[in-house]
């Protein structure tokens, strides 16, 4: 019998599978097959976003999967995200409905505010500022959040959360919300462990999902930062007869309870490899050695793509 997928419990009592499939830069023509391979491998958690530009193909894959009867809609945890250009409260419902239509779904398990950054909507004439970045729109997070809460009331989304939120932003949001954010999706990997933020979230009952858990693999920002060739990760992988990717994934939900992790691949063998992490455990020495790798390195540098030092 297959090992049951470890689950985390959200504040509401809902269960989220600890390992899911990421879909950022999963190209059209590949993402659907990636989802199908993942379902066959046992994944039940999928991380999507409107801005990834591939939700239609994801929706076609889900429709085929449900039709085949392999799994039912209620067996899956499907997350999507509100893009920056849709923060104005009057735009939130339409953005969510567009995602649902593309995905051919009647509800999402989780809808996240993708970034704590509002951009002017794409249909406005003045799009860029003098530096060439998309213009910032002055929408309070609390106003966007209230519109997210209405999506729950309408039954379009079961849970709501945020992504890329710092302690200060979460603290502020917790003072004004009616429904508390249940998840904060953040960059986390051995080179950016975010202990303070995760510990704060845990105290508030906010689950953390780790994105870019494999540090996107390879050269990032021109630096040869690669968790897959890290000697410490390599040594631990050898000890457990696992791959470096499996060590980096397992570490996420073993180092603390209430963390899920969403490695991305569209290649069948890697999709399978990344899910094959439930039949071993890291020991205290492994955890100590991985902890020492933390260097606050970020893959996602919003100063580069939004012109804003979001994490300053
Ligand atoms: N909320 C946010 O702002 C945010 C930001 C970034 C990411 N995310 C989410 O988190 C997901 C994961 O993060 P990510 O895509 O940035 O990076 P990642 O999962 O750290 O790395 C993905 C890269 O690793 C390769 N890869 C995957 N498994 C591998 C394996 N076993 N061996 C060797 N290479 C492997 C993939 O290539 P192939 O596909 O060619 O296999 C891809 O190039 C995203 O897809 C997205 O869903 C969210």
Q: Where are the domains of the chain?
A: 13-305
Q: How many angstroms separate the alpha carbon of residue 306 from the centre of ligand 1?
A: 21
In the chain, % of residues over pLDDT 70: 97
The mean pLDDT value for 138-164 works out to 98
In the chain, % of residues over pLDDT 90: 91
* Per-residue confidence (pLDDT) for residue 126, from 0 to 100: 81
Distance CA 194, CA 189 (A): 9
What is 13-305's CATH number, 3.90.550.10, 3.40.50.300, 3.40.50.1000, 3.20.20.100?
A: 3.20.20.100
Residue 48 has pLDDT above 80, yes or no: yes
Residue 128 contacts by C-beta under 8 Å, 6 or more apart in sequence? 134, 135
**Minimum CA distance residue for ligand 1 atom 27:** 265
**Minimum CA distance residue for ligand 1 atom 5:** 211
For residue 255, the SS3 value is: helix
Q: 189: which strand partners?
A: 192
* Ligand 1 site, residue 260, Cβ cutoff 6 A: no
Q: 187: which strand partners?
A: 211
Q: How many angstroms separate the alpha carbon of residue 211 from the centre of ligand 1?
A: 8
- Give residue-wise pLDDT tens across range 1-35: 456 789 999 999 999 999 999 999 999 899 999 99
The mean pLDDT value for 216-230 works out to 78
DSSP 226-250: -GGG-HHHHHHHHHHT--HHHHHHH
The burial class, CB within 10 Å (0-12 / 13-18 / 19+), for 3 is: exposed
Residue 156 has pLDDT above 50, yes or no: yes
- Give residue-wise pLDDT tens across range 174-187: 999 999 999 999 99
* Per-residue confidence (pLDDT) for residue 214, from 0 to 100: 95
Mutation test of ligand 1: which of 265, 299, 304 has the most ligand atoms closer than 8 Å to its C-beta? 265
Mutation test of ligand 1: which of 58, 99, 211 has the most ligand atoms closer than 8 Å to its C-beta? 211
- Give residue-wise pLDDT tens across range 288-307: 999 999 999 999 999 999 99
* Per-residue confidence (pLDDT) for residue 1, from 0 to 100: 44
* Ligand 1 site, residue 163, Cβ cutoff 6 A: yes
Any idea which of 165-179, 184-198, 213-227, 256-270 has the lowest mean pLDDT? 213-227
Any idea which of 188-192, 222-226, 292-296 has the lowest mean pLDDT? 222-226
Average pLDDT in the chain: 95
* Per-residue confidence (pLDDT) for residue 219, from 0 to 100: 67
Confidence of residue 124 (pLDDT cuts 50, 70, 90): confident
- Residues annotated as catalytic (active site), given as ranges: 52
Q: How many angstroms separate the alpha carbon of residue 54 from the centre of ligand 1?
A: 15
Residue 285 has pLDDT above 70, yes or no: yes
For residue 184, the SS3 value is: strand
Ligand 1 atom with the smallest distance to the CA of 271 is 28
* Per-residue confidence (pLDDT) for residue 287, from 0 to 100: 98
Query: Which of the two residues, 219 and 40, has the higher pLDDT score?
Result: 40
* Ligand 1 site, residue 213, Cβ cutoff 6 A: yes
Mutation test of ligand 1: which of 189, 212, 249 has the most ligand atoms closer than 8 Å to its C-beta? 212
């Amino acid at each position: 019998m297959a090992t049951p997928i470890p689950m985390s419990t959200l504040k509401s009592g809902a269960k989220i599978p600890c390992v899911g499939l990421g879909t950022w830069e999963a190209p059209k023509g590949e993402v659907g097959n990636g989802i199908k391979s993942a379902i066959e491998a046992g994944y039940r958690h999928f991380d999507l976003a409107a801005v990834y530009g591939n939700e239609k193909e994801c929706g076609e894959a889900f429709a085929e999967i449900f039709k085949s009867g392999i799994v039912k809609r209620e067996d899956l945890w499907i997350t999507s995200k509100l893009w920056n250009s849709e923060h104005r409260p009057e735009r939130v419902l339409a953005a969510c409905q567009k995602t649902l239509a593309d995905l051919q779904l009647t509800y999402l398990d989780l809808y996240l505010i993708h970034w704590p950054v509002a951009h002017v909507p794409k249909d406005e004439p003045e799009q860029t500022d003098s530096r060439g970045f998309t213009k910032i729109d002055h929408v309070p997070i609390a106003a966007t959040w209230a519109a997210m809460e209405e999506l729950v009331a309408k039954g379009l989304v079961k849970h709501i959360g945020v992504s890329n939120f710092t302690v200060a932003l979460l603290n502020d949001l917790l003072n004004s919300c009616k429904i508390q954010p249940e998840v904060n999706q953040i960059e986390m990997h051995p080179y950016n462990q975010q202990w303070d933020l995760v510990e704060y979230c845990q105290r508030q009952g906010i689950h953390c999902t780790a994105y870019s858990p494999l540090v996107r693999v390879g050269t990032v920002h021109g630096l040869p930062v690669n968790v897959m060739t890290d000697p410490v990760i390599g040594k631990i992988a050898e000890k457990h007869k696992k791959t470096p990717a499996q060590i980096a994934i397992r570490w996420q939900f073993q180092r603390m309870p209430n963390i899920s992790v969403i490695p991305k691949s569209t290649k069948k063998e890697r999709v399978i490899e990344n899910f094959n992490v439930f039949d071993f455990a890291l020991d205290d020495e492994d955890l100590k050695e991985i902890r020492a790798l933390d260097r606050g390195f970020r893959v996602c540098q919003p100063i580069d793509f939004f012109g804003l030092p979001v994490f300053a």
